Amino acid sequence: MKNLIIIIITVIPFIYGCKKENEKDPVLSDRWIREIAWNSLSDYDKSTVIVDWQQAPLAKSRFNGISAYAVSFNTSMDALLGPITVYVSVTANVAIGQDMRD
């Protein structure tokens, strides 16, 4: 009986510490998506971004029929060209394209 109690006490923290495999932490996921988008930009594009890339707006979208996240970076050229919007694939977690800027 004493051994059973010891086993239960040692196993319980492991059970409660485990998450389901498909559960995602939304804060980490959003940060990761923004980082993928940020890393896809050229050095010149990065130099024109005027806000912290980690705070860039993020929204679910579609790009060429593919489910994606749209990450928008405001730049010093927004008045002329608009923001840079990078699309990150929902399934592959890679940058798949950008919106054309005017």
- For residue 56, CA distances in Å to 2, 12, 31, 73, 79 come to 55, 40, 10, 6, 18
The pLDDT of residue 101: 85
Could you give the CA distance from residue 89 to residue 97 in angstroms, rounded to a whole number?
A: 9
Could you state, in order of their start, the residue ranges of all structural domains in the chain? Answer: 22-98
The pLDDT of residue 14: 61
Mean pLDDT, each 10-residue run in order, the chain (102 residues): 66 59 59 95 95 95 94 94 94 92 78
For the whole prediction, is pTM greater than 0.75?
no
Query: How many Cβ atoms from other residues are within 10 Å of residue 4's Cβ?
Result: 8
Residues 86, 74 contacting (CB under 8 angstroms): no
